[in-house]
Amino acid sequence: MSRVEQLQQALDEVGADAMVLRLAENVLLATGYWVQIGGLGIAVVPRQGEAALLVPEYEEPEARGSWPGDLRTFPAIRFDGESAPAAIDRILRQLAQEHGAAGGTIGYEGSFDSVAPPRLDGEPNAVSGGTQALIRSTFSTEKLVDVTPALEAIRLVKSEHDLDRLRVTNQIAKLGLDAFKEHAVAGRTEAEVAAAVESAMVAGGHGYEGARTVRAYATVLSGPETAAGWQYFLHRARRIEQDDVVMLELGTCADGYWSDHTRTVVAGTATDRQRQALAAVLAGADAALAAAKPGATGGEVDAASRAAVAAAGFEQFPHHTGHGTGFRYHESRPQLVPAGEHALEAGMVIVTEPGIYEEGLGGFRWEDDAVVTAEGGRLLAETDYGLD
Amino acid sequence: MSRVEQLQQALDEVGADAMVLRLAENVLLATGYWVQIGGLGIAVVPRQGEAALLVPEYEEPEARGSWPGDLRTFPAIRFDGESAPAAIDRILRQLAQEHGAAGGTIGYEGSFDSVAPPRLDGEPNAVSGGTQALIRSTFSTEKLVDVTPALEAIRLVKSEHDLDRLRVTNQIAKLGLDAFKEHAVAGRTEAEVAAAVESAMVAGGHGYEGARTVRAYATVLSGPETAAGWQYFLHRARRIEQDDVVMLELGTCADGYWSDHTRTVVAGTATDRQRQALAAVLAGADAALAAAKPGATGGEVDAASRAAVAAAGFEQFPHHTGHGTGFRYHESRPQLVPAGEHALEAGMVIVTEPGIYEEGLGGFRWEDDAVVTAEGGRLLAETDYGLD
């Protein structure tokens, strides 16, 4: 079943006549096109018939490359004719009429309280009052229904195309993971290392296996403070010292497909106990991946990871063991957490990120992305380096 | 009047008992603290009394550095005790009781259909169904009122503190603008130039005049396609050729304060007509800045720019001449557009970005940020290079 057919089935189930999607992640889901500016790229999926993609005129060639269906364009970024809002209003009214959805029940992205940024990630869009008013007005209805649960469920299992693009995203992330190993040395500041990681990915990622647009989100922490590295940290102007522990947290987005990685290295020579800690973390990750088979629950995967870390003589920190990823840095499902009830299915993409944090020793976390298969989680990219 | 007092006056005006702010840009406005994860940093402003800031426990030291008022913390990112959602729920209920706002009318960010990302910009938050449900539940009310118009009005005129931080943001942007001039040479790819710009800003910006966290959003386009550079463009793996026109579009965020810049250079030697085009653009920018005095309308500033470009023998493209900036890459007001009616006030921060685009010649745009003063727009940063 195509994505559009899945979305139409969801419309059937909630009794809605069409859905209007404005978030980059959901326009991508429906059409395969990753919009440049949120709100200036809209997908309309009717209960029956063809879905439509609205984009500014100047995006038509790129949009046409991803979306073979109904494509409607409007002028934007210029004041010498119809304005973009007026044109969007006009086209949505037309679509409402063409699909007999005017006055009907319309699905919208009603509970996305966090979002994946579009290509222009400095100013992401959201679905708030303005979008709801637009839908009410153009579809002549007060009957809006939140289709967030259906969207989250549909994107949970990745298609072959999704998996191929996620493989590319992970390969581009590897450019950054390798740059991290190279640059995480004494004398560099944390911010310099983060800049080098992102630079390697942006410079090397564009054009890599057809990737059009790559954005990197790196954060680096070093030194004794890594013992609190289970927190969300931020890099500083601090210079890495000899034998410091250095951690990288890395989000990667290639054409709307996301990955999430962590690496830990020592800028010099690791102690025996630090090596044991990383070995325990890797054992925890391996155990989680081995357990990540269709039918397993998030809680079972989490427990497998913690048991392996305990068997290696350490205690895994009580943050999550992992989560879903793909259309977002962090997908809402599945959660790989203590007692987590989400059941894994083949084709889901997850991360495993066990961590050990000890005062005096430092923080050790290692995170990779994997697709769930009958044999367990299969990694989407691997690096070939260790702690030092 | 402090920001909190301004927000309290707005509550008076709309007849609300408190407002709950979850977007990074508005938490910054209310408290001076730029949150790390949207939704895990919340400001509550009661109609009377002290405003409160909620953050995860581990952010307390940094939050305390910016916000001297009521600070409440909760555990997060760990599964060995009360969850963050449960703790946020509990604290909001307490605040509703303490301020007598339970059952009252509560203001929320109801129409932010685009948002400024928080520090962790790979996954910004939005105010959608989840946040509204949280407010309804914790304040025991169905009476939510959208305070977006009040928030947009209050942040329009910058405080002395805001202007000082925007000066720092613009100085950090200058690191990127200078790197652009250095790296926009034949042989480099557009993506490589963008990576170099961002890298210079991230590596050099952290710690610059106290800047804690810097994010850069660069886009580079080169060659004949710059003639369509009025569009939102995206960099490619294309290598810059000798004598190509190269354009940079650059958003900068330092601790929640934004700037917006454009530069155009020639990777080699410009033609006379290209020099004339850039001179016309600069004349248009100067005329816009000269017109940007308190009381002038956006339409007047726009007209001044177009007249100067026309006097230099070119036609300015019919995109906007400029817009507000500061708490967002693009603020909603003032719009410097044909017939624009927004009136300028001292302390507003605007950008001017006239552009000329011609097939065969290329695209030429130059954009700087300025504060509105009685003498006109005063630039927040300047570079000392020209077209080639």
Asked if B85 and B223 sit in the same domain, the reply is: no
Q: How confident is the model at residue A36 (pLDDT cuts 50, 70, 90)?
A: very high
Q: Is the pLDDT of residue B36 over 90?
A: yes
Q: Whats the size of chain A, residue-wise?
A: 388
Question: What's the rounded mean pLDDT across residues B192-198?
Answer: 98
> Distance, in angstroms, between B318 CA and closest chain A CA?
5
Q: Do A126 and B112 touch (CB under 8 A)?
A: yes
Q: Higher confidence at residue A232 or residue B175?
A: B175
Q: Do A123 and B329 touch (CB under 8 A)?
A: yes
Domain total of chain B: 2
Amino acid letter for position B80: D
Q: Which CATH number do you get for residue B375?
A: 3.90.230.10
Considering only CA atoms, which of A13, A43, A8, A11 is closest in space to residue A25?
A43
Last residue of a domain, one of B154, B174, B199: B154
CA nearest B197 in A: which residue? A199
In the prediction, which pLDDT does B180 show?
Answer: 98
> Distance, in angstroms, between A131 CA and closest chain B CA?
7
Question: What's the rounded mean pLDDT across residues B208-236?
Answer: 97
> What is the residue-wise DSSP string for A11-40?
HHHHT-SEEEE-SHHHHHHHHS---SSTTS
Q: Is the pLDDT of residue B357 over 90?
A: yes
Q: How confident is the model at residue B160 (pLDDT cuts 50, 70, 90)?
A: very high
Residues 6 or more apart in contact with residue A160 via CB below 8 angstroms = none
CA nearest A217 in B: which residue? B122
Asked if B92 and B187 sit in the same domain, the reply is: no
Asked if A148 and A191 sit in the same domain, the reply is: no
Asked if A92 and A207 sit in the same domain, the reply is: no
Q: Which of B39, B234, B235 sits opposite A114 (nearest CB)?
A: B39
Query: Alpha-carbon distance A177 to A218, whole Å?
Result: 10
Average of per-residue pLDDT values in chain A: 97
Last residue of a domain, one of B96, B124, B154: B154
User: pLDDT by residue (tens digit) across B269-291?
Assistant: 999 999 999 999 999 999 999 99
DSSP B15: T
Residues 6 or more apart in contact with residue A35 via CB below 8 angstroms = A24, A27, A28, A41, A55, A59, A118, A119
- Domain containing B346 equals 160-379
User: pLDDT by residue (tens digit) across B306-344?
Assistant: 999 999 999 999 999 999 999 999 999 999 999 999 999
Query: Alpha-carbon distance B90 to A290, whole Å?
Result: 39
Asked if A123 and A28 sit in the same domain, the reply is: yes
Residue B282 lies in a domain: yes
> Touching check for A327 and chain B: CB below 8 Å?
no
Q: What is the CA radius of gyration of chain A?
A: 23
A 173-232 residues with CB < 8 A to B: 189-192, 194-196, 198-200, 202-203, 205-207, 212-215, 217, 219, 228, 230-232
A125: which strand partners? B114
Amino acid letter for position A176: G
A114: which strand partners? B125
Residue A386 lies in a domain: no
In the prediction, which pLDDT does B39 show?
Answer: 86
Query: Alpha-carbon distance A248 to A246, whole Å?
Result: 7
Q: Which CATH number do you get for residue B24?
A: 3.40.350.10
Residue B237 lies in a domain: yes
Residue A387 lies in a domain: no
Q: Which three-class secondary structure state does DSSP give residue A186? A: coil
Q: Do A123 and B231 touch (CB under 8 A)?
A: no
Asked if A8 and A79 sit in the same domain, the reply is: yes
Considering only CA atoms, which of B169, B182, B221 is closest in space to residue A122?
B169
Please determine, for the modelled complex, whether the ipTM score is greater than 0.90.
Answer: yes
Q: How confident is the model at residue A30 (pLDDT cuts 50, 70, 90)?
A: very high
Residue B385 lies in a domain: no
With 0-12 CB in 10 A as exposed, 13-18 as middle and 19+ as buried, what is A210?
A: exposed
Residue A384 lies in a domain: no
First and final C-alpha spacing in chain A? 47
Tell me the pTM: 0.98
User: pLDDT by residue (tens digit) across A39-89?
Assistant: 899 999 999 999 999 999 999 999 999 999 999 999 999 999 999 999 999
H or E element, residue B273? helix B272-291
Chain B residues within an 8 Å CB radius of A196? 199, 203
Q: Which is it for strands A355-358 and B106-108: parallel, antiparallel or unpaired?
A: unpaired
Query: Alpha-carbon distance A195 to A188, whole Å?
Result: 11
Q: How confident is the model at residue A38 (pLDDT cuts 50, 70, 90)?
A: confident
Asked if A201 and A298 sit in the same domain, the reply is: yes
Q: How far is CA A106 from CA A20, A136, A147, B110, B202, in A?
A: 7, 8, 9, 20, 43
Q: How confident is the model at residue B193 (pLDDT cuts 50, 70, 90)?
A: very high
In the prediction, which pLDDT does B38 show?
Answer: 80
Q: How far is CA A208 from CA A160, A293, B217, B371, in A?
A: 19, 31, 20, 42
Chain A residues within an 8 Å CB radius of B115? 123-126
Asked if B136 and B196 sit in the same domain, the reply is: no
Chain B residues within an 8 Å CB radius of A130? 111, 113
What's the CA dihedral at B267, B269, B275, B278 to 10 degrees?
10
Q: Is the pLDDT of residue A261 over 90?
A: yes
Q: How far is CA A289 from CA A210, A349, A383, in A?
A: 29, 11, 16
A 117-146 residues with CB < 8 A to B: 117, 119-131, 146
Question: What's the rounded mean pLDDT across residues A343-351?
Answer: 98
Q: How far is CA B342 from CA A47, B322, B323, in A?
A: 42, 12, 10
Q: Which of A39, A214, A337 sits opposite B79 (nearest CB)?
A: A337
Chain B residues within an 8 Å CB radius of A230? 77-78
Q: Do B234 and A251 touch (CB under 8 A)?
A: no
Place of tokens 């050790």: A364
Pull the structure tokens for residue A135: 């839908």
Q: Whats the size of chain B, residue-wise?
A: 388
Asked if A127 and A183 sit in the same domain, the reply is: no
**Helix ranges restricted to H, chain A:** 3-14, 24-31, 60-66, 84-98, 129-138, 148-154, 160-183, 190-205, 272-291, 298-311
- Cis bond upstream, residue A334 (ω within 30): yes
> Is B201 within 8 Å of B175 (Cβ atoms)?
yes
Q: Which of B38, B111, B219 sits opposite A114 (nearest CB)?
A: B38
> Touching check for A320 and chain B: CB below 8 Å?
yes
Percentage of residues of chain B with pLDDT beyond 70: 100
Last residue of a domain, one of B119, B154, B189: B154
Chain B residues within an 8 Å CB radius of A121? 117, 121-122, 217
Q: Which three-class secondary structure state does DSSP give residue A139? A: coil
> Is A6 within 8 Å of A154 (Cβ atoms)?
yes
What's the CA dihedral at A65, A67, A71, A77 to 10 degrees?
-60
Q: Dihedrals φ, ψ of B239, to 5°?
A: -85, 135
Torsion sign, CA atoms A285, A287, A289, A292: negative
Query: Alpha-carbon distance A359 to B272, whole Å?
Result: 65
User: pLDDT by residue (tens digit) across B3-35?
Assistant: 999 999 999 999 999 999 999 999 999 999 999
Residue A358 lies in a domain: yes
Q: Do A116 and B123 touch (CB under 8 A)?
A: yes
Query: How big is the CA angle at A87 (ends A86 and A93), to the nearest 5 degrees?
Result: 95
In the prediction, which pLDDT does A230 show?
Answer: 96
Residue A323 lies in a domain: yes
In the prediction, which pLDDT does B258 show?
Answer: 98
Query: Alpha-carbon distance A326 to B136, whole Å?
Result: 32
Q: Which three-class secondary structure state does DSSP give residue A379? A: strand
Q: Do A203 and B214 touch (CB under 8 A)?
A: no
Query: Alpha-carbon distance B188 to B282, whole Å?
Result: 27
Query: Alpha-carbon distance B221 to B232, whole Å?
Result: 10
User: pLDDT by residue (tens digit) across B50-89?
Assistant: 999 999 999 999 999 999 999 999 999 999 999 999 999 9
Query: Alpha-carbon distance B110 to B32, whole Å?
Result: 21
With 0-12 CB in 10 A as exposed, 13-18 as middle and 19+ as buried, what is A11?
A: buried
DSSP A157: B
Considering only CA atoms, which of A251, A167, A175 is closest in space to residue A206?
A175
Asked if A133 and A197 sit in the same domain, the reply is: no
Asked if B315 and B217 sit in the same domain, the reply is: yes
Residues 6 or more apart in contact with residue A83 via CB below 8 angstroms = A75
The number of C-beta contacts closer than 8 angstroms across A and B is 211
Place of tokens 């307390």: B60
> Distance, in angstroms, between A49 CA and closest chain B CA?
29
> What is the residue-wise DSSP string for B64-133?
HHH--SEEEEE--S-SSSS-HHHHHHHHHHHHHHHTT-TTS-EEE-TT-SB----SSTTS-B--SHHHHH
> Touching check for B116 and chain A: CB below 8 Å?
yes
Disruptive mutation site among B80, B108, B112, B114 for chain A (greatest number of A CBs within 10 Å): B114
> Is B118 within 8 Å of B125 (Cβ atoms)?
yes
Asked if A63 and A29 sit in the same domain, the reply is: yes
